[in-house]
Structure 1
Amino acid sequence: MAQASNDSTLNEQFAALLSADGWSLLSTIDPSMVATKDAAWTLNEKLRKDGHDAQVIRAVIAQAELRYRARVKFGPFADSLVFTPAGLEQATRLTIAGLHARRFTSAGCTHVADLGCGIGTDSIALASAGLQVTAVEKDETTAAATTLNLMPFENAKVVHGSAEETDLTGIDGVWLDPARRTDQAGNTRRLFDPEAFSPPLSFVEKLVDEGKDVGVKLGPGLPHDAIPDTAEAVWISDHGSVIEACLWFGRLRREGIARAALVIDKDGAHELTNPVTAQADVPAPVGELQEHVYEPDGAVIRSHLISTLLESTGGHLLDEHIAYFTHAQQISTPFARGYKVVAVHDYNVKKLRSWVKTNGIGTLDIKKRGVDVTPEELRRILLAGSPKSAKNKATLMLARIGDKRVAFEVQPH
């Protein structure tokens, strides 16, 4: 009942937003005017005094708040889009959507169906690339938002319907972003069983068998044993955050590549690949701590390409179960962040508190792998009682090496 109530409220808000007064009012609101709860309350009071309908005000402020949050993903372009809360959460960042679209254009596709298009950010990128786009969304309110977002593109249309029932006649490319947060019983949670997705991965394979060129966006936690042999799998990291895993089939799959880690940073995009002929995971070398420790990017870890990274950089793991690797030299790679080892401490809270106090540490960054501790909680404990005059900064890397837990005092490169 709660879900039905939420859907009804969203539909009512959207209807108010699309009213003549609502749409006109939204065009006058800069999202930064609702950057805080106090600012949103002040705007609400002003709009009420100006005589606007209360329901319209709620709808406009809610949309302005979504646009403000969306600036993280879409920059200033967010101010021209229409969002739903779920649609914003699951939407592809425009820079990443552009990479998706490039796959289809490079493969020679001409007409792409975006099945489960959400608010349409991938459809926008596909249409911007000159492709004919059919955007399909089964949620009526979200489909309405997508229609508004795609209005500038004559080569795009929106269909209100389900992915499985869409007529794909004349369509050569298919892009899917399956729902991954609600199971078949309606329980909201993150899903890692590809057959529990909506639509399931078996539906994707059916499209491939029918000769479609298919790309599918999945969560980065996708288990490797669920990846079909016919797919190229790419994990994407955007400025340190692993945001998705993509499977590419048909002409969208690059020849000779089984897995890849695509790392996007301030210097551009960097890719580490694993050839089809080397799909089996090769154990990485393990050895003693050296002068530098490196933390591989999450996309490298998720794609199981640490051995490939070590082949190109040298170095070895500290423990076969821990992703940190060590090297005698300072190396430069976009696929890992490096630190110089200053000292090695036993993982002993009492001794670490003494170390913090003795060194006047007031700011402490904690990283960890293989150690059952919450960095935020440990930081609070270690800094407890630290005087306000403590201005020094430090970084600790916690790791389990064999049966021993250690804390590396390090300095970022």
Structure 2
Amino acid sequence: MTAYVVGAGLAGLGAATALAAQGLTVELSEAAALAGGRCRSYFDSQIGLTIDNGNHLVLSGNLAVHQYLERIGARQDLIGPPAAEFPFIDLATRQAWTVRPNPGAVPWWVLSAERGVPGARFADFLAMAGLLRAKPGQSVNQAIRCQGPVWDRLMRPFLLAALNAEPETASAELAAQVVRETLARGGAAYAPRLPAQGLAATYVDPALDYLQARGARIRMKRRLLGIEAENDQVLALVFADRRQALAADDRVVLATPPWITAELLPGLPTPDRFEAILNGHFRVRAPAGSRPITGVLNGLAEWIFCFPDRISVTVSGANRWMDTPREVAARRLWDDVVQVLDLAHALPPWQVVKEKRATFLATAEQNARRPQARTRFRNLVLAGDWIDTGLPATIEGALRSGALAARLAQDAFT
């Protein structure tokens, strides 16, 4: 019996490693030359560095992330401050502040001028709690009033990063679940964590090593062209290089993007609208004492990340910037970095990465199109951050879906 995992993004890697951990024979196929999907690293000759396609931040309370990294022996590769803290700067007013939540679930930090949001009152925080009572199908601005210092200076930038969509019109259901799993659990659940050596070194390469050590077959540049099925059973997988007939006890985890999955499984509802992310990378060292992560308001840049060999910038909800020439985007982003970090205006070596279909559009309408992991075929399950995980398209959601797919496939074996 074999578990065939198609797609080597994080959802596929999560499913494959979980199945291999149970002693199953695993075959992992990926259409691209490299594993990782939208969570990848590569050497970029323009900037002369190995860079990540984007800055993927996770949080200390992301349980699926930590379970996955523990499995593949890479949990120590996530780094971050011992406690939750989020520096911000408003480029319009030049005001800077740092949100420092206390670890426990009782949020006394909101009453502290040194830890909280400038200009905010307790009533402003309390008003945000209405999001937790949101009804299915509502947008955020239908569940709460999207205004005031807490919204502008904390909730909006936080939700924009988590949802990768304009928070006001995004799904209140998804936003509420993000809040339940982070802000509502206390600062111990949302201390920021970043990969020390890049996405591939933390999330991808150790997973491939783990699979190879357990005898898994890994086949890159191998595209799945079709699925042959009869009644409720998948009979064969048709790859570009060969047709793979399935034994009666074989199982398939389909961890391909939604637009590919929709072609392979006609009639399956999938999200069909997407949102981009814009990332800029600059080969320059940050000044001594720079914070690893800084949130930016009223600029093009939204989050600035200071790594040992570069400064990187992320812009979420970036469809509106996809037609902007890369040189223009680089200069605009660098101008914001200069203001925040007090650097020289001369543009250093740079690269701009446009991830055009980074995530499904996190609206209530698109959320309703997310399928379950189970399909009409008893030997095929789905994985991906775009299936119905209850979360927006995040690393946590991708790995949660992979773990679920592995459990469903494993249950089918027993």
TM range (shorter): under 0.3
Normalising by structure 1, what TM-score?
A: 0.21
TM-score w.r.t. length of structure 2: 0.21
Identify which of structures 1 and 2 has the higher relative contact order when contacts are C-alpha pairs closer than 8 Å and 6+ apart: 2
